[in-house]
Structure 1
């Protein structure tokens, strides 16, 4: 069976807006797509390279980005003019960026998220099924095992970090007709374990801390995505891992491996399996399955 390429999305003209006196918000599309997200990432990465005076913070999102600037150094209208020019300059068929490929082990159907989701069945679309059972059924899978294999079967791009500090949003790198889609809970939970793997819409999220949540719960990872004290070696440069533009490999593990990894994390000796690539959007658009295989080859 021939490989399916990624259908390209024609983006409309960006919408530029103001946020008070010191923010500019740019919406590239009302709909999430690889084109919109890759364009947001390319523009914000290029801004970081150029490091223009007056820019305080650069925040890419799923189909948009926001800048904080110093109004004493930059006029917002002039900044928007520069952004329009940069938007015209960037061509995704030619753009590349350096991406980390990060292995994230996952214990699917783990006891902690299972206990939590069972406490909140009255807030769920299907009170008689688990989150995995419900998600598998509405996506046309015969078993939860097949559904888990599909979720872990292809890498996921980190499209943004936010909502709560250190929470990565990831979008699976497959054609649109292969995307998993599930709704959020009818009413959010008041509790979610830290490091839970949740899914809402077409996004996987890793909950960095314990708290409320509304995404379907699939499992739990033993590794951290937020290390405020930066005690683990891989958090030396930033308290957040991963970051937008990085690629996640959700790898299915058993309870024995989960406990082994968690013990290493807690005693500070765990080292993440991280590879590095020059990510080429055009190669991904043309041959996603083949390119995904090449991406994962950089992991140990």
Structure 2
């Protein structure tokens, strides 16, 4: 589809890159928002990239809305030609699947769920064609996930599974949102995974919890001392299933400020990725584990 431009009130231009999320749409959105930043357009006050769209906030006393729209459209052609290649990082995130805290929470909200007689992960496994929860966990954690945006609440990453579309896990959100979700819950809504950065309301299916702090407004966590939000768009996440003992040990390290996430810097090339998705993912993970 061609990009769709619209005004959002007097101070915003919203641009829809594609109706469907894809890595191609993400990279096009990234290219244009980078071009906006580099163009240093007078009046631009905020640039907000999203999964397959972006929004620009501007001061209408400095630049007229129609002129702002024209500036953005002029950058579209250049973005089409931009190389879909970024310097980023792959990060291992430990996950305690089927933990007692998200399980206790999901049991309190069964009347809001599509299947009140099963847990979230049992339901997700069944509707995605997996015979067992273990095979679902293997599929969820076996391939990396791409951070397409960060937001909605502070520090929350939206993650897109890096497999062919027909293999992507998809699970609908709850019929009605919960009023409670444990901090650092790992789950899925639609085709997007997420980690809840804070405790609060939510509608994504809950599969587990990570002991790894991803948002710290005090910046006392050793690996968040430079910035309170851990994730950034373009990051690649590899889930690592852990048991209760490893969860407790890792949480103790996090609380004692001894924990450091396993991270490897990588160059991600969309064209090379699309030639052999599984092979490219394997190479990304080799770098993470030093094989």
TM-score range, shorter chain: over 0.9
Q: Which residue of the partner structure matches residue 54 of structure 1?
A: 43
Inter-CA distance 92–159: structure 2 relative to 1 (3 Å threshold): farther
The secondary structure found in structure 2 opposite 1:90 is helix
Q: Which residue of the partner structure matches residue 75 of structure 1?
A: 64
Q: Which residue of the partner structure matches residue 243 of structure 1?
A: 232
Separation in structure 2 between the aligned mates of residue 123 and residue 137 of structure 1, nearest angstrom: 18
8 Å contact 1:26–1:64 — kept in the other structure?
yes
Instruction: Report the aligned-residue RMSD.
Output: 1.7
8 Å contact 1:101–1:276 — kept in the other structure?
yes
Q: Which residue of the partner structure matches residue 23 of structure 1?
A: 12
Tell me whether 153-162 or 63-72 shows the greater mean CA deviation: 63-72
Tell me whether 22-31 or 108-117 shows the greater mean CA deviation: 22-31
Q: Which residue of the partner structure matches residue 271 of structure 1?
A: 260
Deviations, residues 102-152 of structure 1 (Å, cap 9, x unaligned): 211100111110111111112111111111111101111000000000000
Tell me whether 102-111 or 13-22 shows the greater mean CA deviation: 13-22
Q: Shift of residue 51 of structure 1?
A: 4.3
2:215 equivalent to 1:197 = no
Separation in structure 1 between the aligned mates of residue 59 and residue 259 of structure 2, nearest angstrom: 40
Tell me whether 255-264 or 168-177 shows the greater mean CA deviation: 255-264
Pick one of 124, 140, 144 that aligns with 1:155: 144
8 Å contact 1:92–1:282 — kept in the other structure?
no
Q: Shift of residue 56 of structure 1?
A: 2.2
8 Å contact 2:89–2:263 — kept in the other structure?
yes
8 Å contact 1:100–1:247 — kept in the other structure?
yes
2:202 equivalent to 1:228 = no
Separation in structure 2 between the aligned mates of residue 19 and residue 236 of structure 1, nearest angstrom: 35
Pick one of 26, 33, 36 that aligns with 1:37: 26
Separation in structure 1 between the aligned mates of residue 270 and residue 174 of structure 2, nearest angstrom: 33
Q: Shift of residue 92 of structure 1?
A: 6.5
User: Which runs of 5 or more residues in structure 2 are unaligned?
Assistant: none
Q: Shift of residue 295 of structure 1?
A: 1.6
Inter-CA distance 69–297: structure 2 relative to 1 (3 Å threshold): farther
Normalising by the residue count of structure 2, what TM-score does the alignment of the two structures yield? 0.93
Q: Which residue of the partner structure matches residue 9 of structure 1?
A: none
Report how many aligned residue pairs link the two structures: 289
Pick one of 238, 244, 262 that aligns with 1:255: 244
Separation in structure 2 between the aligned mates of residue 237 and residue 231 of structure 1, nearest angstrom: 10
8 Å contact 2:31–2:82 — kept in the other structure?
no
Q: Shift of residue 101 of structure 1?
A: 1.4
Deviations, residues 59-90 of structure 1 (Å, cap 9, x unaligned): 11111001122334333333322322322112
Q: Shift of residue 278 of structure 1?
A: 1.9
Separation in structure 2 between the aligned mates of residue 55 and residue 101 of structure 1, nearest angstrom: 32
Deviations, residues 256-288 of structure 1 (Å, cap 9, x unaligned): 221121112112222121211221111112211
2:271 equivalent to 1:282 = yes
Q: Shift of residue 171 of structure 1?
A: 0.6
User: Which runs of 5 or more residues in structure 1 are unaligned?
Assistant: 1-11
Inter-CA distance 46–271: structure 2 relative to 1 (3 Å threshold): farther
Separation in structure 2 between the aligned mates of residue 172 and residue 64 of structure 1, nearest angstrom: 18
Normalising by the residue count of structure 1, what TM-score does the alignment of the two structures yield? 0.91
